[in-house]
């Protein structure tokens, strides 16, 4: 696999110099050959890292000691660069450290390809990368920070001693934790105020004639804004190159796999087929269904009908919790004939799609239940639809009303809405789980509606007979509909299968984070 393309020769930095520091702006793409296996490994492990960054950013105050310890632990476990040690030059310059920095560099650009495709994906990727960059930058000592700024052409102007003396009182009053003595010891940077809007909003800097005077300790805010802007522009440029990337049939299934789903257990492989009766569904929907499935069940009971998107999302979920094909046909038929569909029309228009869902018709694909990422990112609901993720696709006021009907406390509703506002939809669903099950902290990281159901059943004591095959390999949502050349199909299939095997343990990985 070759990373390459059009580039400015004048700006190309030798590889050895590029990895001279453990932190970089990722301005130059990797230009070497790597194997497809290494491509897959790097992509999955960086995705693990970014998911850890997201989870820690919500469950801990960023940059606290506990946050730092846990993130550093994961960086070590995944073999990424983690902490520059000014007193141990040997450990920071050997071949092992070089490989870590190489992996960090290449894996970042791989996920750019996967996460440049939509606005939601870009926003998520940028936020996690910025948080990871913040951690790395604040781990540098001031001398290393200055060296990083100079190396990346961030020549922020420091004010002279004379100007510092003239503005001494203003700088003391506007800068937190800096006394008169420290003002003369600290460097202050004079930058256009629009580059320091976060600090201006918090009233942490002195403003004069369109410039902000920033103490060295707060320069990280300016650097992060610069990094965010560069990464945002880079993702937009990457998106333009996607057609060329997708023409490579080895990469397309892998990138789609990475960007549209976090792959955990396969909830279509289970031991409990037929162990849930149709009479139990109403009761289970109220106590063990995630909000998206509870919403679909309620709509089905009220309207005696669901559109295709709702039938697929809810039907596969029911399949995953244990409904057999015969039960599913009976369940949907009983509900539809209570509405405007008679039995004959159901058999002709709807029964086929249910059998198809179970892999008994058409191309015999045994569809697997939708993951949270698939529900959130694909096929958004339109007018009259009830599928999708309520935390992602519902108006906040309507979501608030729904949570009130389900007897979620006012403080709990506020916590959920804050997570939704921050676009942490899966974490909002996990908070809903904790509130409706009266627990302080769930011991898992939620990634799948069927995972929600199983964890609920464990807590409520009803999960003994509702188990899935934990070691089953992840199967793809659909097999390829068209049959191209045999060699191409084998490469694509092997790519998806290998990725699935590598990501099979991600669920347990995040439970430990």
Asked if pLDDT for residue 420 goes beyond 60, the answer is yes
**What does the alpha-carbon distance between residue 92 and residue 94 come to, in Å, rounded to a whole number?**
6
266, 268, 274, 276: CA torsion to nearest 10: 60
Tell me which residue of 381, 385, 504, 383 sits closest to 447, measured CA to CA: 504
Sketch the domain layout of the chain as residue ranges.
36-146+226-262, 152-222, 279-461
Q: Checking DSSP bridges between strand 206-208 and strand 211-215, what pairing results, if any?
A: antiparallel
pLDDT at 492: 46
The topology (CATH level 3) of 36-146+226-262 is Transcription Elongation Factor S-II; Chain A (1.20.930)
pLDDT at 243: 83
Separation in Å, CA 234 to CA 17, 311, 398, 458: 22, 39, 36, 45
Separation in Å, CA 104 to CA 18, 29, 217, 251: 12, 12, 26, 19
For the chain, the maximum distance between any two Cα atoms, rounded to a whole number of angstroms, is 90
pLDDT at 428: 93
Residue 10 burial (10 A CB sphere; 0-12, 13-18, 19+): exposed
DSSP state of 279: G
Residue 389, annotated as binding a ligand = yes
Q: Which residues pair with 33 in a beta bridge?
A: 2
Over residues 70-97, the pLDDT tens digits come to 999 989 988 998 776 533 444 455 568 8
307 compared with 15, residue with greater pLDDT: 307
Sign of torsion over alpha carbons 488, 493, 496, 498: negative
* Average of per-residue pLDDT values in the chain: 81
| Confidence band for 468, pLDDT divided at 50, 70 and 90 | very low
* pLDDT (average), residues 396-423: 94
* pLDDT (average), residues 390-408: 94
Asked if pLDDT for residue 112 goes beyond 60, the answer is yes
Q: Lowest-pLDDT range, 150-159, 255-264, 296-305?
A: 255-264
The tokens 């949907």 sit on which residue? 332
DSSP state of 472: P
Residue 116, annotated as binding a ligand = no
pLDDT at 378: 80
| Confidence band for 459, pLDDT divided at 50, 70 and 90 | very high
Separation in Å, CA 112 to CA 53, 130, 237: 17, 13, 10
């Amino acid at each position: 696999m070759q990373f390459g393309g059009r580039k400015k020769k004048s700006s190309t930095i030798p590889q050895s110099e590029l990895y001279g520091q453990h932190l970089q702006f990722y301005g130059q793409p990797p230009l070497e050959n790597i194997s497809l296996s290494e491509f897959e490994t790097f992509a999955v492990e960086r995705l693990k890292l970014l998911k850890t960054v997201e989870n820690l950013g919500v469950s801990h105050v960023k940059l606290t000691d506990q946050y730092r310890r846990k993130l550093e632990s994961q960086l070590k476990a995944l073999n990424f660069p983690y902490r520059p040690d000014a007193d141990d030059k040997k450990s920071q310059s050997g071949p092992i450290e070089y490989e870590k920095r190489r992996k960090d560099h290449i894996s970042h650009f791989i996920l750019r390809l996967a996460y440049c495709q939509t606005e939601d994906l870009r926003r998520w990727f940028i936020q996690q990368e910025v948080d990871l960059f913040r951690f790395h930058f604040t781990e540098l000592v001031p001398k290393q920070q200055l060296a990083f700024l100079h190396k990346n052409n961030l020549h922020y102007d420091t004010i002279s001693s004379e100007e510092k003396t003239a503005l001494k009182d203003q700088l003391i009053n506007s800068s937190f934790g800096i006394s008169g003595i420290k003002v003369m010891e600290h460097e202050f940077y004079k930058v256009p105020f629009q580059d320091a809007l976060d600090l201006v909003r918090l009233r942490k800097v002195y403003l004069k004639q369109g410039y902000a005077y920033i103490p060295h300790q707060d320069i990280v805010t300016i650097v992060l804004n610069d990094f965010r802007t560069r990464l945002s522009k880079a993702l937009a440029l990457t998106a333009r190159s996607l057609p060329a990337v997708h023409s490579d049939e080895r990469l397309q299934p892998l990138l789609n796999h990475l960007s549209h789903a976090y792959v955990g257990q396969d909830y279509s492989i289970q031991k409990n087929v037929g162990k849930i009766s149709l009479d139990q569904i109403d009761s289970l929907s109220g106590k063990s269904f995630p909000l998206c499935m509870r919403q679909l069940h309620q709509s089905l009971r009220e309207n005696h009908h669901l559109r295709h998107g709702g039938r697929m999302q809810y039907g596969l979920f029911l399949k995953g919790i244990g409904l057999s094909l015969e039960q599913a046909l009976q369940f949907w038929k009983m509900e539809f004939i209570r509405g405007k569909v008679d039995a004959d029309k159901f058999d002709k228009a709807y029964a086929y799609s249910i059998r198809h869902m179970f892999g008994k018709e058409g191309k015999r694909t045994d569809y697997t239940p939708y993951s949270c990422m698939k529900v959130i990112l694909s096929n958004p609901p339109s007018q009259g639809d009830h599928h999708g993720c309520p935390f992602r696709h519902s108006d906040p006021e309507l979501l608030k009303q729904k949570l009130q009907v389900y007897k979620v406390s006012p403080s709990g509703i506020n916590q959920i809405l804050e997570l939704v506002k921050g676009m942490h939809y899966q974490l909002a669903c996990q908070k809903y789980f904790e509130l409706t099950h009266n627990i302080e902290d769930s011991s898992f990281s939620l990634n799948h509606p069927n995972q929600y159901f199983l964890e609920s059943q464990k807590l409520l004591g009803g999960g003994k007979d509702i188990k899935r095959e934990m070691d089953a390999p992840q199967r793809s949502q659909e097999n390829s509909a068209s049959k191209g050349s045999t060699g191409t199909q084998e490469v694509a299939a092997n790519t998806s299968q290998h990725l699935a095997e590598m990501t099979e343990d991600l669920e347990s990985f995040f439970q430990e984070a």
